């Protein structure tokens, strides 16, 4: 008999967390927790749709960020860092 991990454990290791919030200009921001992909969106529905598509259709792996959330394109994403004080203008970035 072949031994496999339970489905919940397998999906957790494959699907990254995505953060969603609004930036200082009123655009919706989506960013993968490690900063590997993300983007700017005109509405919450499209931002959420993108995040679910990128994480394997797992709405439970999408986190709403309160306050101002700026898109970090530095490549040095740190969830412990308070993004509400980021004054750098957001730029769209999307990984291939």
> Rounded to an integer, what distance in angstroms lies between the CA atom of residue 86 and that of residue 38?
16
Label residue 73 by pLDDT band (50, 70, 90). confident
Residue 57 backbone class (left: φ over 0; alpha: ψ -120 to 50; beta: rest):
left
What pTM was computed for the model?
0.64
| pLDDT the model gives residue 78 | 55
> Which residue has 């992909």 as its token pair?
37
- Is residue 2 scored above 70 in pLDDT? no
Are 51 and 57 within 8 A, CB to CB? no
Residues forming a β-bridge with 28: 22, 41
- Residue 73: count other Cβ atoms within 10 Å of its Cβ: 16
Mean pLDDT of 45-72: 96
Compute the C-alpha angle 64/7/13, nearest 5°. Answer: 55
Q: Which residue from 10, 20, 17 is spatially nearest to 36, judged by alpha carbons?
A: 17
* pLDDT tens, residue by residue, 9-58: 333 445 689 999 999 999 999 999 999 999 999 999 999 999 999 999 99
């Amino acid at each position: 008999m072949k031994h496999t991990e339970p489905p919940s454990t397998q999906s957790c290791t494959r699907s990254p967390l995505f953060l969603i919030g609004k930036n200082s200009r009123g655009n919706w921001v989506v960013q993968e927790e490690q900063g590997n992909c993300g983007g700017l969106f005109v509405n919450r529905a499209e931002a959420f749709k993108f995040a679910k598509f990128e994480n394997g259709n797992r709405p439970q792996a999408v986190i709403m960020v309160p306050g101002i959330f700026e898109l970090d394109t530095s490549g040095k994403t740190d969830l412990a860092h308070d993004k509400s004080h980021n004054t750098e203008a957001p730029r769209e970035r999307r990984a291939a």
